[in-house]
Structure 1
Amino acid sequence: MTQNRILSHMLADIARDYGQPVMIWQASTLLGALLVAWVLARLVARALESRRRARQETARFGSESLRKALFPLLGGLLVWGAQTALAESMSTSLLELALVPLFGIALIYLVFFIARRVFGRTGHAHAWLSIAEKLVSVLVWIGMGITVLGIQDEVLRWMASVRFRVGNAHMTLLSFTTGLMWVCATVVFALWLGSVYEDRVMRAHSVDANLRVVLSRVGRALLLLAAVLVSFSLVGIDITVLGVFGGALGVGLGLSLQKIASNYVSGFIILIDRSLRLGDTINVAGLQGMVTQITTRYTKVRGLDGIETLIPNEKLVTDVVQNHSSYLTRGYAKAAVQIAYTSDVDQAMALLVEAAHGVERVLEDPAPAAYFVGFGADGINLELGYWIEEAAKGTAATRSSVNRNIWRLFGEHGISIPYARRDIHLVGALPAVLNGAVELAQDPSIGAGANEMREPGTPLARDAATGA
C-alpha cells in the first residue's frame, strides 16, 4: 500500500516487471517499433521533400518541426498498436510508459509546425512566437510528468476547487483553463486551415490573380469567425450577445470608422472588378508607379524613383486613375519617314520592315508592317508600324533602335531622305539686290551661307544675274 501511494500505477508496474522475462519482450517490441518508425519517418520526409520540389515551392518555414514530429508520432502509433495487441497476453507496462513521451514530444513539434505555418509566413520567427513555443513545451512536459506520476486526477480536482468570478459569471480554474485551451486550439486550427486554403487558392493559376486574393482572404476570415463562434459555444458563452456587439460595431463603423470601412469596401471592389492588377503602371493624383501589392485597405505603388507609397483604396475608386498597362501588356508604335521621289518605294518599304526585325521587345506577331502614306511636298511619305512588348516599361529605347536601323539601312542601299526645298524670289531693282548680297557676304556671322550665294551658278546668283 505504501508503494502504491508513492508510485503511480505506471511506475509500480515497471517496478513489478523489472527483472522479469516479460520486460525483455517489451523492450524488444519497443526497440523494433522505434526502428520501423525511424525508417518510415525518413521515407515520409523524403516523399514530402520530393513533392515540394515537384511543385517548385520554396522551403517552408516550420517544415523542420514537421520532420522532427514524424518519428515520435509514428513511433507512438506503432507502440500503441503493439501495446493494444499484446495487452491481453502479457504485461505492457513499459510500452504504456513509452507512449507518454512519444506522443508528448510529437505534440510539441506539431504545435511548433502549425504555429510557424500560421504566424511565421514571412520566414522569420518573431520573439513572441519563440516565447509561445517555450511555454507550450513547458506545459506539455509538465503534463507528461503528471501523467507518469499518476496525479492527474488530484490536479484536476484541485483546479476544479479553485473558484472565482469574471463579471457576473462564476468560474473555476479548470473551466477557465479548459475554455482558454479550446479557444486557442480552435483559432490556431482555423488559421492553419486558412493558411492551407490560401496556398491552394494562390496556386490555382487558372483563376484570376485578383479573384484568388479575394477568395483566400474571405475564406480565412470566415474560418476565423467560425472558430471564434465554435470556441465560444464550447466554453459556454452565449453567442446571442454578439448581436448587440455587432450592432454597436455597425454604429462605430458608420461614425468613427467610416474612412476605414470605405477603404475596405473599396479594396474588395478593386479586387473583384479587376480594374487594377499587380504590375500595372498607374497614375493617380500626380503619382506614377507600378502596383506591387493590393490589400483590402490600401494599394502599394512603387514610384519611378523606387519609393513605395501606400494609397488608400477609396482614392483609387473615387479619383481618376490612369492605367498605362493594357491587359495585352503591349503597345503600338510607328515611325514616319520620307524618301525622295527618285528612290525605289518597294525597296524602301522592305527595308523599313527589316529595320524592326531583331530589335529587343519588338513583337514578331503581329509582324511589323510598312505603309505608303501619301505624297508629300518634298518626297513620298512612308510609315512603319510595329508592336512593343510590355510597353508600360517604356518605348523610347526600342523606338530609338528601330530609327537607327532605318537610317543605317537607307544609307547602305542608297535610299535618300530629301531635304525641304524652298524657292526664294527677290523683289526690287538689281543694284539694290547686288548691294544687299555684297553686304551679306561681308558679314562674318553669315559664313558659308553667304559665300554660297556669291558663287556663280547658284540659283540665287542666276536669279540676280537675270534680274528675276
Structure 2
Amino acid sequence: MAENQIAELLIDLWHDLQQPAIFWQIGVLAVCLLAAGAITRQIKAVLRRRREADPSVPRGASEEGLRRVIFPLTALGLVIVSRIVLERWHHVNLLKLAVPLLVAMAAVRLTVHALKRAFPRAGWLASFERIFATGAWVVVALQISGLLPTVIDGLEQIGFSIGKAKVNLWMVLQGALTVLVTVLVALWVAGVIESRLMRTDGLDANMKLVFARLSKALLIVLAVVVGLPLVGIDLTALSVFGGALGVGLGFGMQKIAANYVSGFILLLDRSIRLGNLISVGSERGIVSQITTRYTVLKGMSGIESIVPNETLVGSVVQNETFTDPRVRVSLPIQVSYATDLERAMAILVEAARTQPRVMDDPGPGAFVEAFADSGINLQLGFWIRDPAEGTLGIRSAINLEIWRRFKAEGIEIPFPQREVRILGGAQPAVPVAPVLDQGNPVP
C-alpha cells in the first residue's frame, strides 16, 4: 500500500469505529477466525488419522509446514472472500487491516519452520520465534501507521563507503534480510534433500552424510552469492576485504580447517562408520556420530568422547568391527607346579563354553604360556561376535566359573612366595612374618 492509501485506511477505520456498522465487520472477522480454527482442527485430525494408520511413513517437511501455516492461510482466504462480499453493503476497513496481519503471521511461522528444519537440535528457536514475530509486527505497524517510509529515508541518510562503492544502512539491512531469506530457502531445500537421502536404501550411511552436507554448504554459498547482488551490493567491492579476511582466518583456523577436511575424508573413504567399535589413543568406544569437525565415541561406561577428525586421520586407529566384528579375548590364569595341566586346561575350555556369547567356531582354547616363578601361566582364548557389548562381564563370569571348578577339583591358584635364608649359620632359621608382595600376603 502507498502512504496516502494507508492514511486513508486509518482515517476510514476511525470513522467506522464510531458507527454501529463496525459490529458487522467485527462479527465477520470473528466468524472467519472461528471457521479457520475449525477447518484447521479438521485437517490436523485427518493428518493424525493417516499417521496412525501407517506409522512407518516419515513425516515430511511439507506436512510440518502445512500444520504451522494452515490457520493463518485459511483465515486469510476467508477474510479476503468476506471482504469482497461485504464491501457491497458496508465498509470493510477492519477486514483490510486484518489481511497484512495474517500475512505476517504466516510468514513468521514459515520462517521459524524453515529454521527448525535446518537446525533440528537448536534450543534457541523458541526465543527466536518471539523475537522474529515482534520484529515482523513492528514492521507491519510502521507500514500501517505510515511511518515506514520516514524510517527508511532516515536509514538511507546514514551511509559509508567500502572502496569505491557507497553503501547506506538501509541497503545493509535490505542485504541482510535478502540473504537471510535466500539462506532460509537454501536450508529448507537442503533439509528436504537430506530427508530424501536418509530414506534412500541403496546408499551407504557415510555417503548420505557427505552428500547432505555438501548440498547444504553449496546451497548456502549460492544463497549468499545470489542474495547480495539483488539489493545492489557489488561483490567485487568486498573482494579485497574478503581476501584479507580469508588469509587471516586461514592462519588462525588451520586446525579447524584440517578437522573439516579430515571429516570429509572419513566420510568418503568409509574407514570409520557409525556403530564401529574403535580405539584411538586412550579412548575406546562405539562411533555414535560423525560430523565434519569431530567424531563422538560412546564408551562402555556411557561417557562420550569428542575426538577431532584430524586425530582420527593422522593416528593409528584400532577398528574392532571394520571388516569382521569378531574379536578374540584372552584370560591369563596361573596354577601351581603340582597341578595336572591337561585337566586344568580342560576346565578352562569347559568354563568358556558355558557362556552363550562365546563362539563355537572358532571355539575356545587353552595354552601353556610360560613357567613363572610362583606357578605355570596358562592362557584361555575365546572369540565373541559382539564386542560392542563389552568384555568385562563375560571375563568376570568365566573367571568365577574357573574359580568354582578349580576349588572343586582341588587345583591351587598360587600366590607369590618368597623364601628368606639367614646366612652365617650363627642362628637357626626362624619363621618370617608374612610380607606383602604386590598386594598379596606372603608367609
Tell me: CA distance 1:51–1:219, structure 2 relative to 1, closer, same or farther (3 Å).
Answer: farther
Tell me: CA distance 1:122–1:258, structure 2 relative to 1, closer, same or farther (3 Å).
Answer: closer
Counterpart pick for 1:155 among 128, 150, 158:
150
Shift of residue 102 of structure 1? 2.5
Whether 2:70 is the aligned partner of 1:74: answer: no
Q: 2-side partners of 1:160 and 1:327: how far apart?
A: 63
CA contact (8 A) 2:300 2:390 kept: no
Counterpart pick for 2:234 among 238, 251, 269:
238
The range that moved more, 104-113 or 4-13, is 4-13
Whether 2:264 is the aligned partner of 1:265: answer: no
Whether 2:93 is the aligned partner of 1:93: answer: yes
Correspondence 1:3-402 to 2 at 5 A: 8-12=8-12, 15=15, 19=19, 24=24, 26=25, 29-47=28-46, 54=55, 69-84=69-84, 91-118=91-118, 121-122=120-121, 124-125=123-124, 130=127, 132-149=128-145, 151=146, 154-155=149-150, 158-159=153-154, 162-167=157-162, 168-204=164-200, 206-241=202-237, 248=244, 251=247, 257-303=253-299, 307-331=303-327, 359-361=355-357, 388-395=384-391, 397-398=393-394
Specify every segment of 5 or more residues in structure 1 that has no aligned partner in the other structure, as ranges: 341-347, 373-383, 410-415, 417-444, 446-468
The range that moved more, 231-240 or 68-77, is 68-77
Tell me: CA distance 1:91–1:325, structure 2 relative to 1, closer, same or farther (3 Å).
Answer: same
Tell me: CA distance 1:328–1:228, structure 2 relative to 1, closer, same or farther (3 Å).
Answer: same
CA contact (8 A) 1:282 1:323 kept: yes
Instruction: Please tell me the residue identity of whatever aligns with 1:325.
Output: T
CA contact (8 A) 2:21 2:90 kept: no
CA contact (8 A) 1:356 1:368 kept: no
Q: TM-score scaled to structure 2, two decimals?
A: 0.65
Q: 1-side partners of 2:151 and 2:77: how far apart?
A: 27
Tell me: CA distance 1:203–1:125, structure 2 relative to 1, closer, same or farther (3 Å).
Answer: farther
Q: Output the aligned Cα RMSD.
A: 5.2
Q: Which has the larger radius of gyration?
A: 1
Q: 2-side partners of 1:136 and 1:23: how far apart?
A: 32
Instruction: Please tell me the residue identity of whatever aligns with 2:8.
Output: S
Instruction: Please tell me the residue identity of whatever aligns with 1:101.
Output: L
CA contact (8 A) 1:369 1:385 kept: no
CA contact (8 A) 1:356 1:402 kept: no
Q: 2-side partners of 1:104 and 1:249: how far apart?
A: 37
Instruction: Please tell me the residue identity of whatever aligns with 1:95.
Output: L
Shift of residue 133 of structure 1? 4.1
Shift of residue 138 of structure 1? 3.2
Shift of residue 400 of structure 1? 7.5
Q: TM-score scaled to structure 1, two decimals?
A: 0.62
Q: 2-side partners of 1:238 and 1:283: how far apart?
A: 50
Q: 1-side partners of 2:135 and 2:264: how far apart?
A: 42
Shift of residue 191 of structure 1? 3.2
Shift of residue 272 of structure 1? 0.8
Instruction: Please tell me the residue identity of whatever aligns with 1:187.
Output: V
Tell me: CA distance 1:124–1:6, structure 2 relative to 1, closer, same or farther (3 Å).
Answer: closer
CA contact (8 A) 1:23 1:94 kept: no
Instruction: Please tell me the residue identity of whatever aligns with 1:73.
Output: L
Q: 2-side partners of 1:403 and 1:205: how far apart?
A: 44
Shift of residue 280 of structure 1? 2.3
Shift of residue 393 of structure 1? 3.5
Q: 1-side partners of 2:207 and 2:282: how far apart?
A: 28
Shift of residue 94 of structure 1? 3.5
Please state whether the residue corresponding to 1:237 is helix, strand or coil.
Answer: coil
Tell me: CA distance 1:48–1:170, structure 2 relative to 1, closer, same or farther (3 Å).
Answer: farther
Q: 2-side partners of 1:402 and 1:153: how far apart?
A: 79
Tell me: CA distance 1:172–1:67, structure 2 relative to 1, closer, same or farther (3 Å).
Answer: same
Q: 2-side partners of 1:287 and 1:22: how far apart?
A: 73
How many pairs does the alignment contain? Answer: 385
Sequence identity, in percent?
A: 36
Instruction: Please tell me the residue identity of whatever aligns with 1:35.
Output: L
Please state whether the residue corresponding to 2:235 is helix, strand or coil.
Answer: coil
Post-superposition Cα deviations, 1:258-301, rounded to whole Å, max 9, x if no partner, equal 44333222211111111012332223334433333322223333
Shift of residue 225 of structure 1? 0.8
Specify every segment of 5 or more residues in structure 2 that has no aligned partner in the other structure, as ranges: 332-340, 366-379, 410-430, 432-443
